[in-house]
Amino acid sequence: MNILVINAGSSSLKYQLIDVVTEKVLAKGLCERVGSRDSFHKHGVDKREVVIDTYLPNHTAAVDCVLDELINGAQSPIDSVEDIDAVGHRVVQGGAYFDKSVAITPQVVDKIRELAELAPLHNMAALAGIEACTKLLPHAEQVAVFDTSFFQTLPPKAYMYALPYDLYERYGIRKYGAHGTSHRYISQRAAELLGESLSDLKMITCHLGNGCSVSAIDHGVAVDTSMGMTPLDGLMMGTRCGSIDPAIVPFIMDHEGLSTTQVTDLMNKKSGLLGISGVSNDLRSVGEALDRGDERALLAYDMYSNAVKKFIGQYMAVMAGVDVIVLTGGVGENDQRMRRMIFAGLQPMGIVISEERNRQKGFERVISSDRSKVRIIVVPTNEELMIARDTYEIMHEHSQIVPYRG
């Protein structure tokens, strides 16, 4: 059974075609710069990637291009669109409405659109992907998998803000979190690697890349997470500032003469690693500057690692301890220096990294010392596989459901 997983961005469309029975990736790729004349399509598994320069005016054109390559390309894994049984869509914001993945219906589409105010670029892009697949794959059931649903188990003391309560009642102002599909996958996979039940573990999961979040998972249940009502809150990230004193926002607006749109852009796109280092939002480039003795690059590393360290401490307090810390994302998986800095000084808390294991490169691996009371594991995330699994389960739960047709 073949499931097409779609992750639509405002100007991009990532995809994987997965045989969900064997969990084998049959094809994957990325359409970039959708809506621009210099758009292109990368397609292929492993080293067989090809780059196709083609004009993609919108997401429907992007999905059409993807389907053509899947059926007619040199590496075509299927013979027709009928070989795609269902489509799973990543949707960032599900608000308080969705505590799990759901089959897409007109009512679900309306809710995704209603919640776009909380994630305007992400949710509207997801809707564009849904509408494109509705047009080009009318036979296929479609499923929405929400980044926020994993965090619907947070207690009110974790998700509420200390603002007038009626703002929560009127506008739904609360913590929703993000990266939930990733945190769900790596927590489950870490438990499998340890040969233990997730329900027996206190776990802190760290998704560290250009976007960053840390979550507390207490015996399989998410009880807190660093991102807030939007993905801007929490850790310092590639271009996002993370948590700051709220009074800074009107101060900057007054002194710089910025509009709400401009200050939002500053905090989301010009801050974080990029804003502090002045080099890049990519930690690899910042690391190269650090090797050359750049003091602002060192400051960026110190701030990034310190932010993660503080959340680890917070969540140990929330759960009264931790058994396992899991790292994923481009930084969490690949930057040994950042991992070393994050765990430096945590030995009194029973967290001891192994220098030798930390230097090793590979995929799933334990990097804590044998004398560490807390196990530290690196697990590459696989959100696409989680989306495919959820889509498969919903197809079987709702075998009589009519595919969404707009």
Residue positions annotated with a catalytic role? 147
Q: How far apart are CA 137 and CA 104, in angstroms?
A: 14
Rg for the chain, CA atoms, rounded: 21
- What's CA 45's distance to the chain center, in Å? 21
End-to-end CA distance of the chain: 24
Residue 315 contacts residue 224 (beta carbons within 8 Å): yes
Q: How far is CA 142 from the centre of its chain?
A: 20
Cα–Cα dist 272/237, whole Å = 5
In contact, 233 and 242? CB cutoff 8 Å: yes
Three-point CA angle 273, 277, 283, nearest 5°: 50
> Running DSSP on this structure, what letter comes out for residue 403?
P
Specify the pairing of strand 40-43 against strand 24-32: antiparallel
- Measured CA to CA, the distance from residue 92 to residue 77 in angstroms comes to 29
For residue 146, the cross-strand partners are: 91
* Residue 129 Rama label (left phi>0; alpha psi -120 to 50; beta): alpha
Beta-strand relationship, 324-328 and 202-208: parallel
